[in-house]
Amino acid sequence: LDLHARDIPPTSAEKLAVDAVLGPPQNGWEGGTRSPSDGRIARGGLRARMARRTLLLPALHALQDGTGGISVAGLDYVCRRLSVAPAEAYGVASAYAQFELEVTDDTPHGPEIGTSEVAINGPTVTVHLCDDIACRAARHGDPFETAVAQTSPLVRWKRSPCLGQCDAGSAALVHQPSSGRLCFGISPFTVAEADALARGGLDDLIGPRTARPVRKAGPLLRSSVSPGQKTFPLLRQAIERGPNWVIEEIRAANLSGRGGAAYPTAMKWEAVRANAMKPHYFICNADESEPGTFKDRTLIENNPFGLIESVAIAGFTTGSEHAYIYIRGEYPEAEGLLRATIDDCYRKGIVGPSLLGSGPPFDIEIRRGAGAYIAGEETALFNSIEGFRPEPRNKPPFPVQSGLFRKPTAVNNVETLFAVLEVIRSGGEAFARTGTAEAPGTRLFCVSGNVTRAGIYELEQGFKLSELIAMAGGVPEGRTIQAVLLGGAAGSFVGRDDLDIVLSKEGLRGRDATLGSGVVMVFDDLVDLKSIVARIAAFFRDESCGQCVPCRVGTVRQEELVARVISGKADPVREAQILDDLATVMRDSSICGLGQTAPSAVSSAFRLGLLS
Ligand SMILES: Cc1cc2nc3c(=O)[nH]c(=O)nc-3n(C[C@H](O)[C@H](O)[C@H](O)COP(=O)(O)O)c2cc1C
Ligand code: SF4
Ligand code: FES
Cβ neighbours of residue 51 closer than 8 Å, sequence gap 6 or more: none
For the chain, give the percent of residues with pLDDT over 90: 69
**What is the mean predicted confidence (pLDDT) over 101-110?**
52
* pLDDT interval class at 116 (50, 70, 90): very low
* pLDDT interval class at 253 (50, 70, 90): very high
Mean pLDDT across the chain: 89
pLDDT beyond 50 at 549: yes
pLDDT beyond 50 at 38: yes
Name which residue leads in pLDDT, 552 or 114: 552
Looking at residue 111, what is its pLDDT? 35
Looking at residue 377, what is its pLDDT? 98
3-state class (DSSP) for residue 584 = helix
Can you say whether the dihedral through the CA atoms of 417, 268, 459, 286 is positive or negative?
Answer: positive
Looking at residue 150, what is its pLDDT? 59
Measured from CB, residues less than 6 Å from any atom of ligand 3 are 130, 132-135, 162-166, 171, 291
Between 6-10, 197-201, 226-230, 426-430, the lowest mean confidence (pLDDT) is in 226-230
Looking at residue 27, what is its pLDDT? 63
3-state class (DSSP) for residue 24 = coil
Pocket of ligand 1 contains residue 256 by CB under 6 Å: no
Looking at residue 208, what is its pLDDT? 53
**How many Cβ atoms from other residues are within 10 Å of residue 220's Cβ?**
26
Shortest-distance ligand to the CA of residue 556? 2
* Rg value, the chain, Cα: 24
Omega prior to 264 cis, within 30 of 0: no
* pLDDT interval class at 30 (50, 70, 90): low
Between 3-12, 99-108, 214-223, 514-523, the lowest mean confidence (pLDDT) is in 99-108
Please report which helix (H) or strand (E) contains residue 175, including its range.
Answer: strand 172-176
pLDDT by residue (tens digit) across 487-520? 999 999 999 999 999 998 888 888 888 889 999 9
pLDDT by residue (tens digit) across 356-414? 998 999 999 999 999 999 999 999 999 999 999 999 999 999 999 999 999 999 999 99
Pocket of ligand 1 contains residue 260 by CB under 6 Å: yes
Looking at residue 130, what is its pLDDT? 92
For the chain, give the percent of residues with pLDDT over 70: 87
3-state class (DSSP) for residue 179 = coil
pLDDT beyond 90 at 529: yes
Cβ–Cβ under 8 Å, residues 381 and 390: yes
pLDDT beyond 80 at 100: yes
Q: What's the CA-to-centroid distance between 374 and ligand 1, angstroms? A: 9
Nearest CA to ligand 1 atom 5: 376
N- to C-terminal Cα separation, the chain: 43
DSSP 400: T
Q: What's the CA-to-centroid distance between 405 and ligand 2, angstroms? A: 21
**Ligand 1 atom closest to Cα of residue 268:** 25
290, 379, 547, 588: which to mutate for ligand 2, most atoms within 8 A of CB? 547
Please report which helix (H) or strand (E) contains residue 136, including its range.
Answer: helix 133-139
pLDDT beyond 90 at 547: yes
CA distance 489 to 468: 20
pLDDT beyond 60 at 563: yes
Cβ–Cβ under 8 Å, residues 244 and 284: no
Cβ–Cβ under 8 Å, residues 126 and 158: yes
* pLDDT interval class at 214 (50, 70, 90): confident
**What is the mean predicted confidence (pLDDT) over 246-261?**
95
pLDDT by residue (tens digit) across 581-610? 999 999 999 999 999 999 999 999 999 999
